[in-house]
Structure formats: structure tokens, C-alpha cells
Amino acid sequence: MTMSSRLPEPYSQGSSANLADILERVLDKGIVIAGDIRINLLDIELLTIKLRLIVASVDKAKEMGIDWWEDDPALSSGARRNELARENAELRERLARLEELEPTREQQQEEAQ
């Protein structure tokens, strides 16, 4: 007895076009997935995890007011430069304050004579 089993093709033309359409729609419109996980023991809440996932294109995210990656030094070279410039300015200010507090060597020499 011979059984001919036919397996579906993993990537047919129709399904890839549908996948591309779905991906385009999701990136264009955006999708939000939200959920909460709560762990209780004897009616005592031990842990709550709130999950929020937004899938959207960069343009759509900016349109919604989401642009956290622009200010994250790990993700943006501009943000890293800004952080370094701010840190450098703070260090210069601290150094200037320390130099004002400590008497100069010339003053110390005059007092020693």
C-alpha cells in the first residue's frame, strides 16, 4: 500500500505576498501588545510584571511621540556626543571650583616666608 503524502510548500508565492502585506500594514499602522503577569501567594502579591510591546516603523513611532532611541547613548552617536559634552562641562566646572578653594602655590610660598 502506497501512500503519497504531499507536504505544503513552506514559502509559496501567495503566502509571501500576504506576509509582506501584513508586515507593511503592521509597520504602517503599528500594533500594541499589552499584558500583566502577577504572582500571588496566599493572596499576597509577590511580583507584578507589566509588559507593553509596540511594533511600528520609526516614522510611525516618531509620529506617536516615541523617540527614546534618539536620546539613548547606547543607540545614538549624537546622544553619546551630547552626554560626553555635558560630562566634560561638569568636570570643568568641578575643577574650577576646586581651584578656587585651594590656595595657589605662590600664596603658600609667600605665607611660608
Residues 58-105 have pLDDT tens digits of 888 888 788 777 777 777 777 778 788 889 999 999 999 888 887 666
Instruction: Say if residue 1's pLDDT is above 70.
Output: no
3-state secondary structure the chain: CCCCCCCCCCCCHHHHHHHHHHHHHHHHHCEEEEEEEEEEECCEEEEEEEEEEEECCHHHHHHCCCCHHHCCCCCCHHHHHHHHHHHHHHHHHHHHHHHHHCCCHHHHHHHHC
Instruction: Say if residue 29's pLDDT is above 60.
Output: yes
